[in-house]
């Protein structure tokens, strides 16, 4: 089983990339499970026509020990198995705790044994790399971490913090850094900024995705780019990103 996490600053497009990578891998005939680790619970919305599925935290509050596996794992576009960790009531509780609860619940209910995914993708908010948000990289869940960034200052700053956290955990036998995914925003010297980031952490830019009206159109329609614009350059770039990740993970 291939297990990896996609991290990035909020709003950088990591969920867009995660959904499109999931769709591309599913199109290869792989059984893919995508687990949204963001309290906004919108990681998998592009795989559900824009709808948000019930979250593990929400269903746990409602059903307790009566919670069933098929209530939290919802098939989406291309057959991708979708899970959303969810978050606490605003102003109450810890968002990171929702991720811990979701991952522990999936393990307890035997999700990986029941669904037997070939690929598990954790889509994780990377503004803060601590507590539950670091769980996929340190809890024995993901084997590789891929970081989404643009060339914007705050995006590169957040990406560097994520890479640093991965390096710190890697010494303890946890997940290793798989590479950088450049989601271009059209800022000056964008490729150079991303390249410098990759070199600082001894990794490389695995794939680049241009800012594109095709991606914007697919997001408006709440579908993967490969469904809306299958012959577009954006679809080819996202498919190339999926292939590059697969190769790094040994698939």
Q: Supply the residues annotated as catalytic.
A: 9, 14, 40, 127
Decide: 83 and 76 in contact? Cβ < 8 Å.
no
Q: Alpha-carbon dihedral of residues 116, 171, 183, 52, nearest 10 degrees?
A: 40
End-to-end Cα distance, the chain = 9
Decide: 86 and 61 in contact? Cβ < 8 Å.
no
**Cα–Cα distance between 132 and 198 in angstroms, integer?**
25
**Cα–Cα distance between 80 and 70 in angstroms, integer?**
14
Decide: 6 and 37 in contact? Cβ < 8 Å.
no
Q: Edge-to-edge strand order for the sheet containing 2-8?
A: 74-75, 81-84, 32-37, 119-125, 2-8, 144-149, 176-183, 205-209
Class of residue 92 by CB neighbours under 10 A (exposed 0-12, middle 13-18, buried 19+): exposed
């Amino acid at each position: 089983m291939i297990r990896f996490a996609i991290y990035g600053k909020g709003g950088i497009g990591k969920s867009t990339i995660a959904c499109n990578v999931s769709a591309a891998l599913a199109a290869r005939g792989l059984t893919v499970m995508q687990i949204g680790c963001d309290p906004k619970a919108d990681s998998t919305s592009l795989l559900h026509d824009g709808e948000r599925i019930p979250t593990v935290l929400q269903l746990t509050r409602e059903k307790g020990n009566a919670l069933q596996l098929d209530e939290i794992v919802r098939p989406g576009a291309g057959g991708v198995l979708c899970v959303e960790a969810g978050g606490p009531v605003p102003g109450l509780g810890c968002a990171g705790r929702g991720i811990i609860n979701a991952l522990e619940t999936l393990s307890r209910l035997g999700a990986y044994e029941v669904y037997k995914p070939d690929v598990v993708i954790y889509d994780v908010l990377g503004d803060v790399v601590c507590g539950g948000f670091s769980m996929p990289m340190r809890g024995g869940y993901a084997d590789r971490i891929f970081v989404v960034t643009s060339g914007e200052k705050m995006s590169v700053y957040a990406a560097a913090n994520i890479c640093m956290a991965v390096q710190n955990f890697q010494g303890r036998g946890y997940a290793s850094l798989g590479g950088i995914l450049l989601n271009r925003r059209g800022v000056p010297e964008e490729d150079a900024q991303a390249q410098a980031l990759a070199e600082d952490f001894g990794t490389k830019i695995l794939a680049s995705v241009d800012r594109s009206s095709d991606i914007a159109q697919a997001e408006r329609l709440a579908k993967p780019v490969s469904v809306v614009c299958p012959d577009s350059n954006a679809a080819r770039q996202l498919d190339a990103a999926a292939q590059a990740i697969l190769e790094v993970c040994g698939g």
